[in-house]
Amino acid sequence: MKKINFIYSVTEIVKNKADDNIYKYVVLPNNLKFLLISDLNADKSGCSLSVGIGSFDEKINGLAHFLEHLLFMGTEKYPEENAYMDFLNLNNGSSNAYTTDECTVYYFDISNNYIDKGLDMFAQFFISPLFNKDSVDREMSAVNSEFLSNVENENSRMHRILQLCCNKDTRESNFNIGNFETLNIENIRDHVINLYETKYSADKMIGVLYSNKSIEEMEKMINVFNLIKNKNNQIQNENENSDFFYNRFIQYILKVQKINFLHKKIYSFQDIIRNDCKNKIIKYKSIEKSKKLAIFIKTGSSLICPILFTHIVDQFNMEDTGCIAILKDKNLAYDVSISIDNVSWYGLFCIEIYPTNYGTNKLDDILKVINEYFLNFKNWNFKCLINRNKINFEYKEKEDVIDVVEELSERLQTVSIVNILNFEYTNDVPDQDLINEVIKSLGNKDQWIILYADDEYTSKFNDGIFGIEVDSFLIKKMQVF
């Protein structure tokens, strides 16, 4: 098998001293990017491919998720509907996929001896899928079943309430899982094919291949992915300067970090969140025998400066001086968890508070404690965190192959290849202006979205999709799909 000529390649990737893997990042002639990881001791091989499109790119609710399902259902080269999964099952393999707001990720692992054919079958998803009508009908049922399982999932229900808090002309308001009502429409197959043909382009795809093969062997193994069409016609001319191309590409994948937070472009949130949903406790029915208060705050993407957001979370959770300590001392809450989700132009900072029996009647007091904590936040000593990051990165344990390829292919959509392994451990301390803007956004209670899941709450109104009992005001502007 002949190796193709790559547009560009990178081998200087930051890794820890114990990491004896060999890494090489290449750009194929069709502008598809691939990270190759050679681990001679790997007991399995795996591959992942992320596509830089997701539910934000759909015009029919759930269409991107539906397309993800259908790519598993046969290709021109391997037309049998279960050929791919049967092959993996016979050879100690597994596979999965998921769709986010901005990205769709496909991945699999398999015994080392069968990775070549596994790659060929996998690549056909993106070269010549069939979209058979029978498959379309069956997978619609599968998507609907997935929706029904989410109806009983507390996190999915909370996400649905968040959608209702968004103005209905925004992408954030869309019901992105999909079900029979959104997908069982005329010409749905044509809509799926159109999404695939217009959005699934090689220049939006990033693959990761992990195997016990040498880098030279792996370079030949990914030849088949060059058959994927670049539908944006941005194929690199051989005479163009490779450094120029790579710098242009890096500027693209670094766009998240380069968002000018200080210009406050991320603060155009009034166009996303309904004004009547800000700084107001929004109650809805919980299906669990518990109560939970959740605060959602739009701020800068945590990708701008990972150490800054890690520090804020660490300080918040300090058992002696953090906000959690204050809430416990006042008998207002017994536990708190924090997460941060990112899209290209902002981050969503989520604080979930589990109130005590006493705290359930003191929700305003809980909110006041958290607000005052951010307004008076002063501890900006990063030294301990910097030292911890260094240690954690140097002694990071190896992960399962399938977890590595899945995580890295999605991360490569937004993170520089040079720091793809150590990104979450980077120690670039932010300047004071950035610190001030982030903490200001967190303490701006007027922009908070506050949700309260209560198993005892009742209402004659529901969200219209999940059947969640909600405050009546929440559905007066509800999006009708």
Q: Could you list the active site residues?
A: 68, 139
What is the spatial distance between Cα 6 and Cα 33, in angstroms, rounded to a whole number?
10
Residue 398: partners with Cβ closer than 8 Å, 6 or more residues away: none
Residue 310: partners with Cβ closer than 8 Å, 6 or more residues away: 385, 424
Burial of 12 (0-12, 13-18, 19+ CB in 10 A): exposed
SS3 readout for the chain: CCCCCCCEEECCCCCCCCCCCEEEEEECCCCCEEEEEECCCCCCEEEEEEECCCHHHCCCCCHHHHHHHHCCCCECCCCCCCHHHHHHHHCCCEEEEEECCCCEEEEEEECHHHHHHHHHHHHHHHCCECCCHHHHHHHHHHHHHHHHHHHCCHHHHHHHHHHHCECCCCHHHCCCCCCHHHHCCCCHHHHHHHHHHHHCCHHHEEEEEEECCCHHHHHHHHHHHHHCCCCCCCCCCCCCCHHHHHHHHHHHHCCCCCCCHHHCHHHHHHHCECHHHCCCEEEEECCCCCEEEEEEEEECCHHHCHHHHHHHHHHHCCCCCCHHHHHHHCCCEEEEEEEEEEECCEEEEEEEEEECCCHHHCHHHHHHHHHHHHHCCCCCCCHHHHHHHHHHHHCCCCCCHHHHHHHHHHHCCCCCHHHCCCHHHCCCCCCHHHHHHHHHHHHCHHHCEEEEEECCCCCCCECCCCCCEECHHHHCCCCCC
> Would you state the structure tokens that stand for residue 465, as one six-digit string?
């999709």
Strands (E), 89-139: 94-99, 104-110
